[in-house]
Structure 1
Amino acid sequence: MTVQGSPARTEPSFTELTARIKAADLLRRRPGVYTTVFASNVLLLAATVAAFVLIGPSWWQIVTAAVLGLVTTQFAFVGHDAGHRQIFAGRRANDLVGHLHGCLVGMSFGNWVEKHNAHHASPNHADADPDIDIPVLAFSVEQAAGRRGFARWAVAHQAVLFLPLLLLEGWSLHLIAWQAAWRREVPRPTLEMVLLAVHVLGYAAAVLLVLTPWQAVVFVVVHQGVWGLSMGLAFAPNHKGMPVLAPGTRLDHLHKQVLTSRDLRGGRVLGYLLGGLEHQVTHHLFPRMPRPNLPRARVLVEAFCLEHGLPYTRTAPLDSYRQVLRHLHDVSAPLRG
């Protein structure tokens, strides 16, 4: 659903919007709130680990694995915020938190920051956004036409395969992390390798010491699947199904971010499950804005867009997924003949 205001009387200015955001003091850090986030995540993880140990070798651990997948997602959200320097003013403190959380979930913080910054710089740009450069998916007719072999078959059926593919997202993040560290494509490759090794060894030791071999396999599959699905469902509605900008397209920061991003309607529960990413337009306009400030800032951003006739998209969560799947189905139609 796209909400549009009356025709703009003046050209909208990002400087003007920024002035309004600063006047509302919405760029200041929120250390107290993040302290609460840290504490709640640690308590959730501790409770999940305690349940894991107490339950022991039982198939009920499938439930524990699913819960751990959701908890892992919350830790990944904090790593996301640290990568944007939302938590602390200084880079070093944010990097420390980011690397620690990367170790806990098995991701490369350095690789994530580099790739995610590239996405923020060029969201939905066909020639520059790494988030829409996925071999087995296509987000435009042009992308679909360029696929070959198995990828062409997968793209032809991508609307049906999309959710199952999200179950593999966790494994993809692990693989990308190891590749980036091994190829020294991150600022601190040795540190990244050590942290990833600590994650793998600790994780493997825990499941093998507590569970039977088959239970361990199922536990890992369920945990990684739920984590990948949770991450995918949090990030997919933000840009997928929004306009894909052709190679060479140049827009100013305000239009580039607003026209390619989608907000979701929802309350605190949705905000918790999505890590604040339901306020995607505001987050892309002000990536260093602390997560707790996004709800108030979103109101100002929406009002600014309506005032200047700038298209602003905000829809219900389920409708956003419908739009994503419809878009994937439509752009791949030529491959189905």
Structure 2
Amino acid sequence: MTEIHAPGAAFSDLTALIKQAGLLDRRRGAYALVFVRNALLAAVALAAFVMLGASWWQLLTAVFLGLVTTQLAFIGHDAGHRQIFTGRRANDVVGYLHGVLVGMSYDSWVTQHNAHHAHPNHADADPDIDIPVLAFSVDQAATRRGPARWIVAHQAVMFVPLLLLEGWSLHLTAARTALAGQVRRPALELGLLTLGALGYGVAVFTVLTPLQGLAFVVVHQGVWGLCMGLVFAPNHKGMPIVPPGTRLDHLQKQVLTARNLPGGRLNDFLFGGLNHQVEHHLFPRMPRPNLRHARVVVEAFCREHGLPYTETGIRSSYVQILRHLHDVSAPLRGPRPAGTPPTG
């Protein structure tokens, strides 16, 4: 087994700097403002839905609701990392509540997401790069069979359309894991998921005609899935894949595989703080409002110790992702014609 260490860099030293700056302290006031903001956004969506009634203009409401649902999902993410409160119980209450609002299983998501944090971009251990219809390495691409093989062969083109299905994938995963008892509280999860689905369905199809309601659901879930995919994709996709059997210390493992996005408070809002992916992976329990301040400390520490610190523009990050997806799937599209230059 290969072991790689970062000479001269100790995670304990970085942690001491972060603690000294108070960046691991809870930010309940800041989160209270986030809760109020999200409640106002949800209220606007609900008011528009009620006022417009049975109208095709409701598709605009569906788009807006998709954006609001993304913000609610960010809170579930933060609760799962215990960023909001010190204790587990209070965070779980917030997590379960937001799970029912967006139609996700809080428990199953936390389990999968923690596995990702423990082994980011590890070829044999990260569930976030174990996706049947995508491949993030040439070796992964070679294992695809049937229709998935064709999709992977053209995954750079199919990537954005596939994100439109991400919301449905999250719903199906929630139902499957809860029914199979693969969560801490199966009865609670099933009850919440059923309550949320019934409430959503009744509201949509009571106010709208069947055709309008179907269109509303498709647009809402599509926008939500697209937003979630576009937020999470730049974090690690297209960054180095850690080969099986390779061990890295925590500091290097998290820094090598993560990509930050620049920008101020607007990007913090749009990406739920996950634009500070390096800092989030190094300190997953750090409250979201502190991540932008931790960036200054972490970047300086990495530069001082010769560790790579990747920060890329938003557009550039998506270009890198699509180019990577195109390149690793090239063998599935057959040999390159003679005289054709390599991509990338």
TM-score normalized by the length of structure 2:
0.95
**Corresponding residue of 1:131:** 128
Task: Pick the aligned partner of 1:170 from 145, 164, 167.
Answer: 167
Question: Cα deviations across residues 15-59 of structure 1 (Å, max 9, x unaligned)?
Answer: 000010011000000000000111110111011101101100001
How large is the Cα RMSD of the aligned pairs?
A: 1.0
Q: Hey, what's the Cα distance between the residues in 2 that align with 1:269 and 1:88?
A: 24
Question: Structure 1 residues 306 and 73 mapped into 2: Cα distance closer, same or farther (>3 Å)?
Answer: same
**Corresponding residue of 2:46:** 49
Task: Pick the aligned partner of 1:21 from 7, 18, 21.
Answer: 18
Task: Pick the aligned partner of 1:250 from 230, 247, 250.
Answer: 247
Tell me if 1:39 matches 2:46: no
Tell me if 1:215 matches 2:215: no
After TM superposition, give the deviation of residue 268 of structure 1 in Å: 1.3
Tell me if 1:205 matches 2:205: no
Q: Hey, what's the Cα distance between the residues in 1 that align with 2:24 and 2:266?
A: 23
- Please identify runs of 4+ aligned residues in structure 1 that moved more than 4 A: none
Task: Pick the aligned partner of 2:192 from 178, 195, 215.
Answer: 195
**Corresponding residue of 1:287:** 284
After TM superposition, give the deviation of residue 248 of structure 1 in Å: 1.2
After TM superposition, give the deviation of residue 10 of structure 1 in Å: 5.5
Q: Hey, what's the Cα distance between the residues in 2 that align with 1:141 and 1:327?
A: 10
After TM superposition, give the deviation of residue 9 of structure 1 in Å: 11
**Corresponding residue of 2:341:** none
Map 1:1-337 → 2, pairs under 5 A: 11-337=8-334
SS at match of 1:313: coil
Q: Hey, what's the Cα distance between the residues in 2 that align with 1:324 and 1:199?
A: 34
Q: Hey, what's the Cα distance between the residues in 2 that align with 1:266 and 1:332?
A: 32
SS at match of 1:315: coil
CA contact (8 A) 2:6 2:249 kept: no
After TM superposition, give the deviation of residue 213 of structure 1 in Å: 0.5
Q: Hey, what's the Cα distance between the residues in 2 that align with 1:84 and 1:312?
A: 23
Tell me the amino acid that sits aligned with residue 231 of structure 1: M
Tell me the amino acid that sits aligned with residue 28 of structure 2: P
Gaps of 5+ in 2: 335-344
Q: How many residues align?
A: 330
Question: Cα deviations across residues 49-105 of structure 1 (Å, max 9, x unaligned)?
Answer: 011011000010000000000000000000000000000000000000000000000
Q: Hey, what's the Cα distance between the residues in 1 that align with 2:177 and 2:333?
A: 35
Tell me the amino acid that sits aligned with residue 236 of structure 1: A
Q: Hey, what's the Cα distance between the residues in 2 that align with 1:99 and 1:175?
A: 17
SS at match of 1:104: helix
**Corresponding residue of 1:3:** none
Q: Hey, what's the Cα distance between the residues in 2 that align with 1:226 and 1:56?
A: 21
Q: Hey, what's the Cα distance between the residues in 1 that align with 2:302 and 2:291?
A: 16
Gaps of 5+ in 1: 1-7
SS at match of 2:104: coil
Question: Cα deviations across residues 116-174 of structure 1 (Å, max 9, x unaligned)?
Answer: 00000000001000000000000000000111111111100000000000000000000
Q: Hey, what's the Cα distance between the residues in 1 that align with 2:197 and 2:191?
A: 10
CA contact (8 A) 2:122 2:244 kept: yes
SS at match of 1:312: coil
